[in-house]
A and B are shown apart, each in its own frame.
Chain A
Amino acid sequence: MKRLGFLIPLGAFLALAIVLAVGLNRDPREVPSPLIGKPAPSFSLTRLDDPQKSIALADLRGQVWMLNVWASWCVACRDEHPLLVAFSKKGLLPIYGLNYKDQRDDGSAWLMRMGNPYQASLFDNEGRVGIDFGVYGVPETFIIDKTGTIRMKHIGPLTPEVIATEIEPLLKKLNA
Chain B
Amino acid sequence: MRRRSRLLVLLAALSLVASVFAKEAVPEASDPALEARMVRITSELRCLVCQNQTIADSHADLAVDLRRQVREQLTAGRSDAEIIDYMTARYGDFVLYRPPFKGTTLLLWLGPAAMLGGGLLVLAVVLRRRSRLSPDAFEADDDDLVSPSPARDVGHA
A residues in contact (CB < 8 Å) with B = 28-29, 31-35, 101, 126-128, 131-134, 136-137
Contacts and interface: CB of A to CB of B under 8 A. Distances in A.
A137 B48 contact: yes
B9 to A, nearest CB: 42
B56 to A, nearest CB: 16
Tell me whether chain A's interface is mostly helix, strand or loop, or mixed. loop
Interface of B: 48-49, 51, 61-62, 65-66, 69, 88-94
B55 to A, nearest CB: 11
Contacts of B92: 31-34, 134
A134 B94 contact: no
A29 B91 CA distance: 12
Nearest to B68: A126
B48 A126 contact: no
A36 to B, nearest CB: 10
Given A126-B65, A136-B62, A131 B48 contact: no
Given A101-B61, A126-B65, A127-B65, A136 B94 contact: no
Nearest to A33: B92
A137 B94 contact: no
24 contacts: A28-B51, A31-B48, A32-B94, A33-B91, A33-B92, A34-B88, A34-B91, A34-B92, A34-B93, A35-B89, A101-B61, A101-B65, A126-B65, A127-B62, A128-B65, A133-B90, A134-B90, A134-B91, A134-B92, A136-B48, A136-B62, A136-B91, A137-B48, A137-B49
A136 B61 contact: no
Contacts of B51: 28-29
Nearest to B62: A136
The winner among A29, A32, A126, A131 for most chain B CB atoms within 10 A is A131
Contacts of A33: 91-92
B111 to A, nearest CB: 10
B49 A136 contact: yes
A31 B65 contact: no
Contacts of B91: 31, 33-34, 134, 136
Contacts of B69: 131
A128 B89 CA distance: 15
Nearest to B115: A16
Contacts of A127: 61-62, 65
